[in-house]
């Protein structure tokens, strides 16, 4: 999880659409492990960081048809 936390610290500088999509794929891989407390904590921080990143990229990434996605 240390690597994941480091990724969240550096991710604001990684603001491309491709990086956002890759991070979303990582989140989908981690979701089944949400029952493990460190993963659950990481996903909360991840979602907060993603929301901030999406605000910066709002003009580049169209909203998903079903609304916002985690």
Domain count, the chain: 1
Residue with the larger pLDDT of the pair 45 and 63: 45
Question: What is the predicted pLDDT for the residue at 65?
Answer: 63
Q: Which domain holds residue 47?
A: 2-56
Residue with the larger pLDDT of the pair 15 and 41: 41
Is 65 a member of any domain?
no
* Helices of type H across the chain: 2-10, 17-30, 37-56
- The rounded distance, in Å, linking the Cα atoms of 44 and 41 is 5
- The rounded distance, in Å, linking the Cα atoms of 17 and 57 is 8
Whether residue 66 has pLDDT greater than 60? no
| pLDDT bracket for residue 5 (50, 70, 90) | low
Is 8 a member of any domain?
yes
The model's pTM is: 0.62
Is 6 a member of any domain?
yes
Is 69 a member of any domain?
no
Q: What is the pLDDT of residues 32-44, one digit of tens each?
A: 999 999 999 989 9
């Amino acid at each position: 999880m240390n690597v994941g936390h480091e990724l969240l610290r550096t991710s604001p500088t990684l603001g491309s659409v491709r990086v956002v999509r890759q991070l979303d794929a990582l989140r989908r891989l981690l979701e089944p492990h949400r029952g493990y407390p460190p993963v659950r904590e990481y996903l909360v921080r991840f979602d907060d960081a993603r929301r901030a990143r999406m605000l910066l990229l709002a003009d580049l990434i169209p909203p998903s048809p079903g609304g916002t996605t985690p």
